[in-house]
Amino acid sequence: MEKYEKIRVVGRGAYGTVHLCRRLIDKKLVIIKQIPVEQMTREERQAAINEVKVLSMLHHPNIIEYYENFLEDKALMIVMEYAQGGTFLEYLQSRNNNLLEEEEILKFLAQMLLSLQHVHSKQILHRDLNSQNILLDKKKEIVKIGDFGISKVLSSKSKAYTVVGTPCYISPELCEGKPYNQKSDIWALGCVLYELASLKRAFEAANLPALILKIMRGTFAPISDHYSEELRSLILSMLHLDPNKRPDINQIMAQPIIINALLHLHTEMGKIPCVRIHRPLSSMAGNARSRVYGRGNMSSRDGIPVKPVSLSSVFCWGGIINTPVKLPLPSSETQVTQVSAGRTQKAAVTKTGRLFVWESPGVGSESVIPGAVENSMPAFIPRYLEGQAAVTIQHVSCGDLFTACLTDRGILMTYGSGASGCLGHGNFNDVGQAKIVEALLGYEVILVSCGTSHVMAVTNEHEVFSWGRGDNGRLGLGNQESFSSPQPVPIPNNLRPSSVHCGVDCSMILTLDNKLMCCGSNRYNKLVLDELAPDGSCTKLVEEACILTLMSSVPTGAALVKDVAIGTSHSAIVTVEGQCYTCGSNQFGQLGHDTENPSRQPHQVKALQPYKITKVACGDTYTVAASEDGEIFSWGKSARGRLGRSDEDSAIPKQVQIPADDQFSIVSISCSHGNTLIATKPLHGTGNSLD
């Protein structure tokens, strides 16, 4: 590695780690795949060697170029070309459901055909063509096919038998276990072409048997008539169930629409670029000058560029931070859609589906080093989660030293401390990188919530699963057992859960019709499960519930609930009308009343009655709420900056002053262990998120 400088890890695969590096001799960026061969089985080692063999045989402008390989630290290092434009999958997801023009699709297809023709001419099957293995250059014009890790070199015209490849792209003959040849690559290319024309996969299902059934039947949604009959017919022919009736590479390239695309490719791609003349800014029109500085989110005044408007802002307080401070984002174009705080974690999800965390060494402990300045501001550094290039994250939840995140396809991944079995992997092992919860692969998870030591998840079919510590009945399984893998939670009365909310020792579930179900410890009636008389006296005391039970305490028992949050010994409820109720212990004023309230009855927070509350979050002994007009209120225990405001009248909700330059709306709130995270967006912001 003395010839290369490592920059960062860009991915982790089944066989190793992928590094972005700089070649020192010419400063060129390259990819180095590090494969620890000594730890592999014989078959895995053979696959690694096979990739080197295949890459060394291929030399084409539309195939990722192979440079060299060498052994270092008991690992095989494969040096390859770096495609800066990312994958087809990422490109299609960035389209925001806007279909590609046929001309662009044919331009991409022509390049894929040329590269695949070169591969097949060497008697090689790719066997894993998919939108994640097809890459683009920086300008997103040149296609580069990569990942030949499971390619097979055929002897003469023999056929292969091993079932390999990405499930959504495998051919019917592969599903049946029949021998296959280059026509299986044609099928996979047809799936990619369908994806280009539809922005979705041709074959998808909740589980592998259902997926195979769809492939065997050849059933997929029709292609938009936005495209020509010739293109639609080509896709249908490439996805013919009978491989003998699928066209081969040469037959496809002989079709008129492809010939035109190939001619255009050869005449356009090789053109000598024109020299662009740069004129002084002063000679440009006002509108043109503003366009130079960005995509409409930056203006200029007297020829001087003005700082661009941020698409999002994230503020935090608590710990050693007494008033809200603005956290740095990866870029001014990052648009945050959700935040989550844990014991030591601060995480966020962007609009484009990336997960990042803020790192700050030494921050998160309750103790302060003697002599340290209490209100000194730590340096928070945003860092993207490694190895997420192939997935789109849409939701994150932080627990006590562990994190769970959801992809846009409903796949749940967890990492961090495995204590109490919170990761859901069937063991208590810690995990450094996000790992799929395999027990839930057959389900599409839409939301996950992490408590201190347990987790709940809800699917698109309104099923609920829980795992982790089970004491107090917090898992809702009818007992107090703990589980290290997801368990189905019984749902009463045919209710349809839509969201889950985990606390320290309890759980809450909201249904589609805005009803609230709870389980776990009902200490101080924080789960609103006591049966109370109209005067507030308790007629039936409920200490804990081991199964999900509908909220019953008046006056909130019949209320329609929009949002809930749970603290250590209290909870907060927001109704669909925007009223905020609190229940539980008021020892530190966390219920929003100026006196300690011995009653177990829920009460509306009077100070918030003039406002329509939309979001609420509970810390250990404090509460934070947001109104639809962007006001943020806090109340409860004020020690160590929990409230983000002065200690005056801490038990009464008062507004937290956010240091913003313009009006904003609240996107997401999260509280944990005395720390609060709030994501906002400007009311009049413009531009698009690139992250």
Residue 448: its H or E element:
strand 445-450
Mean pLDDT of the chain: 82
Contact between 570 and 602 under an 8 Å Cβ cutoff? The reply is no
The per-residue pLDDT for 457 is 97
Q: In terms of C-beta density within 10 A (0-12 exposed, 13-18 middle, 19 or more buried), how is residue 461 classed? A: exposed
Contact 501, 489 (CB under 8 A): no
Helix axes 102-121, 229-238, angle to 10 degrees: 30
Residue 107 has pLDDT above 70, yes or no: yes
CB 483 within 8 A of CB 476: no
| Highest-scoring range by mean pLDDT, 56-60, 88-92, 419-423 | 419-423
Residue of 262 and 350 predicted with greater confidence: 350
Lowest average pLDDT, out of 68-77, 164-173, 201-210, 534-543, goes to 164-173
Count CB neighbours of 121 within 10 A.
11
- Looking at the predicted structure, is the pLDDT value of residue 622 above 50? yes
- Residue 223 is classified by DSSP as P
Kindly tell me if the per-residue pLDDT of 334 is higher than 80.
Answer: yes
pLDDT value, residue 684: 65
Average pLDDT of the residues in 293-315:
56
Between CA 627 and CA 555 the distance in angstroms is: 22
Amino acid letter, 172: P
Query: Torsion angle of alpha carbons 661, 662, 663, 669, nearest 10°?
Result: -40
Residues 375-401 have a mean pLDDT of 78
- Of the ranges 208-222, 304-318, 546-560, 612-626, the best mean pLDDT one: 612-626
Give the lowest-confidence range in 56-70, 536-550, 664-678: 56-70
Residues 135, 600: Cα–Cα separation, whole Å: 60
Determine the pLDDT at residue 42. Answer: 63
Q: Where does the pLDDT of residue 289 fall: very low under 50, low under 70, confident under 90, or very high at 90 and above?
A: very low
Residue with tokens 């935040």: 339
Per-residue CA distances from 157 to 55, 117, 119, 179, 626 (Å): 20, 15, 14, 12, 68
What CA–CA distance (Å, rounded) separates 354 from 337?
10
Question: Whose CA is closest to 81, among 30, 144, 137, 6?
Answer: 30
Name the range with the highest mean pLDDT among 176-190, 231-245, 259-273: 231-245
pLDDT of residue 295: 37
Q: What is the Cα–Cα distance from 573 to 566, expressed in whole angstroms? A: 9
Helix (H) or strand (E) segment spanning residue 635: strand 632-636
Q: 353 pLDDT exceeds 70?
A: yes
Q: Residue 292's pLDDT band (boundaries 50, 70, 90)? A: very low
**Cross-strand partners of 510:** 499, 516
Helix orientation angle between 182-198 and 102-121, rounded to the nearest 10 degrees: 160
Q: Would the pLDDT of 452 be above 90? A: yes
The three state secondary structure string of 75-109 is EEEEEEECCCCCEHHHHHHCCCCCCCCHHHHHHHH
Which residues, in sequence order, are bridge partners of residue 398? 403
Q: Rounded to an integer, what distance in angstroms lies between the CA atom of residue 63 and that of residue 282?
A: 44
b/e burial code for range 576-589 (CB count within 10 A of at least 16 → b): eeebbbbbbbbebb
d(CA 607, CA 418): 42
The amino acid sitting at 367 is: S
Helices and strands: H and E segment counts in the chain = 10, 41
Residue 273, pLDDT above cutoff 60: no
User: Phi and psi dihedrals of 439, rounded to 5?
Assistant: -65, -20
For residues 402 and 57, give the distance between their C-alpha atoms in angstroms, rounded to a whole number: 45
CA-wise closest residue to 452 among 464, 468, 439: 468
pLDDT band at 108 (very low <50, low <70, confident <90, very high): very high
The answer to whether 473 touches 427, Cβ cutoff 8 Å, is no
What is the reported pLDDT for 281? 35
Residues 6+ apart with CB under 8 A from 447: 395, 406, 457, 458, 498, 499, 500
Instruction: Give the pLDDT confidence score for residue 138 in this predicted structure.
Output: 86
What structural domains and CATH numbers belong to the chain? 4-81 (3.30.200.20), 88-268 (1.10.510.10), 562-657 (no CATH)
Give the chain's radius of gyration (CA, Å): 29
Percent of the chain scoring above 90 in pLDDT: 41
Buried b (16+ CB within 10 A) or exposed e, 353-372: bbbbbbebeebbeeeeeeee
Pick the closest to residue 246 from 198, 200, 191 (CA basis): 191
- Does residue 214 have a pLDDT over 90? no
The two structure tokens encoding residue 606: 């009077």
| pLDDT at 44 exceeding the cut of 80 | no
How, if at all, do strands 300-301 and 152-153 pair? Answer: unpaired
Q: Widest CA span of the chain, in angstroms?
A: 88
pLDDT above 50 (res 578): yes
Task: Tell which wins on pLDDT, 171 or 500.
Answer: 500
pLDDT at 163 over 70: no
Compute the CA torsion angle 301, 306, 311, 313 (nearest 10 deg). -130
pLDDT one-digit tens code per residue, 469-488: 999 999 999 999 999 999 99
pLDDT tier at 293, thresholds 50, 70, 90: very low
Cβ neighbours of residue 661 closer than 8 Å, sequence gap 6 or more: none
Highest mean pLDDT among 305-319, 435-449, 506-520: 506-520
Percent of the chain with pLDDT over 70: 81
CA torsion 226-230-233-234 (nearest 10°) is: -110
Tell me which of 24-38, 393-407, 536-550 is least confident.
Answer: 24-38
Q: Is the pLDDT of residue 490 over 70?
A: yes
Question: Whole-angstrom Cα distance, residue 466 to residue 7?
Answer: 39
Ranges assigned E (strand) in 513-593: 516-521, 531-532, 538-540, 544-550, 561-566, 570-575, 580-584
pLDDT given for residue 253 in this prediction: 87
More confident residue, 281 or 351: 351
Backbone angles phi, psi at 606, to 5 degrees: -65, -40
Cα torsion for 387, 392, 393, 394, to the nearest 10°? 180
**pLDDT band per the 50, 70, 90 thresholds, residue 566:** very high
pLDDT band at 652 (very low <50, low <70, confident <90, very high): very high
Q: What is the average pLDDT across 331-345? A: 90
Q: Model pTM greater than 0.75?
A: no
Catalytic machinery residues: 128
Identify the pLDDT of residue 193: 92
Q: Which residue type does 442 have?
A: G
Helix or strand run (H / E) with residue 215: helix 208-217
Angle between helices 182-198 and 229-238 (to 10 degrees): 140
CA separation for the pair 646, 638 (Å, rounded): 8
Residues in the chain: 691
pLDDT score recorded for residue 280: 39
Work out the pLDDT band at 47, boundaries 50, 70, 90.
Answer: low
